[in-house]
């Protein structure tokens, strides 16, 4: 039995469980988003800004994934939304089974939006379906405008690109037009938002899009 065969079996098993998660989200009318990025691109900051903007109008729940620590869950819990932390203990990505287990411990009553914050890794999480409606890839301007070409799978498998930390553009070597052009070369159907979680720029547009997605039944 080769390693390739083992890997295929792991992915098949993952996809079966992801299918079950997806049916659960569909049955309950939950729009589930899988947030992926490099470490430190701003996934948790985006979540905090998004919760603040949507609180009162939409009910949000969060699953946090991390290699170690529950620091992110602590940050999100301050906003009073249901949140559960998955610690992968060295694992480089979330898998559908971990999300399934987390869902069993999360109060989903009335939830409109479920954010699943993946492990900070621009490679491995691309291959693991968690049952989400869409993957949202967050890329910080500080990472440089060549990253969509260098890590294409993540941009190909995502529906939305959020270019974050736009407030830092004057200080870094990143051309936003080149960045967006590279991303669209990899995936021409990407919906792109530009945000700064520091100033709040772009957050209303992103949240309006989430409201419309939810209102349209996804």
Residue 167 per-residue DSSP state: G
* Gyration radius (Cα) of the chain, Å: 17
Q: Give just the sign of the alpha carbon dihedral 22, 28, 29, 30.
A: negative
Question: What separation in angstroms does the CA of 179 have from each of 12, 36, 142, 175, 186?
Answer: 34, 17, 11, 6, 11
Q: What six digits make up the tokens of 12?
A: 């098949």
- Minimum CB separation of residue 204 from a second copy in Å reads 22
- Minimum CB separation of residue 7 from a second copy in Å reads 9
Instruction: Indicate whether 122 belongs to the interface with a second copy (CB under 8 A).
Output: yes
Of the pair 123, 215, the CB lying nearest a second copy is at 123
Instruction: Indicate whether 74 belongs to the interface with a second copy (CB under 8 A).
Output: no
Of residues 46, 63, 44, 58, the one with CA closest to residue 206: 46
- Minimum CB separation of residue 157 from a second copy in Å reads 12
Of the pair 55, 69, the CB lying nearest a second copy is at 69
Binding mask 189-218 toward a second copy (x if CB under 8 A, else -) reads ---------x--------------------
Judged by CB under 8 A, the stretch of 53-61, 108-116, 128-136, 148-156 that binds a second copy is 148-156
Instruction: Indicate whether 172 belongs to the interface with a second copy (CB under 8 A).
Output: yes
Phi and psi at residue 192, to the nearest 5°: -115, 130
Of the pair 77, 124, the CB lying nearest a second copy is at 124
Residue spans of beta strands (DSSP E) within the chain: 31-37, 60-66, 83-87, 113-117, 134-140, 160-164, 191-194
Q: What angle do CA 180, 184, 189 make, to 5 degrees?
A: 125
Instruction: Indicate whether 39 belongs to the interface with a second copy (CB under 8 A).
Output: yes
For a second copy (CB under 8 A), the number of binding residues is 38
- Minimum CB separation of residue 191 from a second copy in Å reads 22
Q: Where do contacts with a second copy occur on this chain (CB under 8 A)?
A: 1, 3, 6, 10, 38-40, 66-69, 71, 90, 92, 119-124, 140, 142-144, 146-147, 149-153, 165, 167-168, 171-173, 198
């Amino acid at each position: 039995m080769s390693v390739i065969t083992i890997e295929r079996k792991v992915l098949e098993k993952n996809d079966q469980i992801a299918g079950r998660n997806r049916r659960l989200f569909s049955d309950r009318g939950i729009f589930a988003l899988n947030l992926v990025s490099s470490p430190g691109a701003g996934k948790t900051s985006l979540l905090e800004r998004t919760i603040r903007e949507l609180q009162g109008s939409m009910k949000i729940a969060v699953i946090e994934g991390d290699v170690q620590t529950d620091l992110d869950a602590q940050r999100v819990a301050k906003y009073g939304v249901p949140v559960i932390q998955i610690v992968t203990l060295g694992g480089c990505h979330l898998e559908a089974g971990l999300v399934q287990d987390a869902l069993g411990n999360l109060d989903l009553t009335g939830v409109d939006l479920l954010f699943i914050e993946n492990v900070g890794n621009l490679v491995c999480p691309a291959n693991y379906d968690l049952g989400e409606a869409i993957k949202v890839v967050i890329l910080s301007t500080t990472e440089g405008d060549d990253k969509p070409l260098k890590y294409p799978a993540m941009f190909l498998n995502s529906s939305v690109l959020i270019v974050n930390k736009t407030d830092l553009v004057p200080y870094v070597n990143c051309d936003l037009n080149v960045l967006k052009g590279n991303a669209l070369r990899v995936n021409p159907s990407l919906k792109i938002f530009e945000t700064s979680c520091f100033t709040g720029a772009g957050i209303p547009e992103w949240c309006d899009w989430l409201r419309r997605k939810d209102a349209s039944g996804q």
